[in-house]
Amino acid sequence: MAMKQIIYASRPFGFDEGGLNSILSTARRRNSRNDITGALICRADIYLQLLEGPAEAIGDTYERIKRDDRHLEVMLIRDQEVDRRLFPEWSMLDDPARSWMWNQAEIAAGALQAASPEEVLAVFARIACEPRDHATLMPA
């Protein structure tokens, strides 16, 4: 079975902590059931998400995200077959957009659209290498 990895970005509609918690809870439940792992970088101006798993499950999940009214301007950045997962232990790791990522003014000015898929993947690779406290974070 082929494994697929996608990265997409969207602009949140009605972003707040409760909405984010709802998205994460639903994603973790569905992703665990469908053998999907990944990470979501989020803040008020951007969702940037990497999903990886069986190609059909990734395709179905991405189609559902595109129809979700909490996501505006959904943009596919990367769509690749991969041999290994970047986030094998995480049904959905959530990560705040860090200071080493684009700031809100840069996002508004088109930094994400100007970035190559490899540059965006590097953001997730950096997150994947960070140590995590599994006692306080909820893995897959």
- Whether 138 has a pLDDT exceeding 50, the answer reads no
- CATH number belonging to domain 3-129: 3.30.70.100
pLDDT of residue 1: 60
Q: Which helix (H) or strand (E) holds 93?
A: strand 93-96
Q: Are 140 and 32 in contact (CB under 8 A)?
A: yes
Helix residue ranges, H only, the chain: 17-33, 55-67, 104-108, 111-114, 117-129
Q: How far apart are CA 37 and CA 93, in angstroms?
A: 8
- Domain edges within the chain: 3-129
- Report the C-alpha gap between 77 and 91 in whole angstroms: 20
What are the structure tokens assigned to 74, written together? Answer: 């959904």
Confidence of residue 18 (pLDDT cuts 50, 70, 90): confident
What is the b/e burial string over 51-88, where b = at least 16 CB atoms within 10 angstroms of the residue's CB? bbbeeebbeebbeebeeeeebeebeebeeeeeeebbbe
Strand partners, 46: 43
Q: Tokens at residue 76, please?
A: 């596919």
Q: How confident is residue 137, by pLDDT bands cut at 50, 70 and 90?
A: very low
Q: Which residues pair with 115 in a beta bridge?
A: none
pLDDT tens-digit series, residues 52-102: 999 999 999 999 999 988 888 999 999 999 999 999 988 888 876 666 688
Cα 130–Cα 5–Cα 124 angle in degrees, nearest 5 = 25
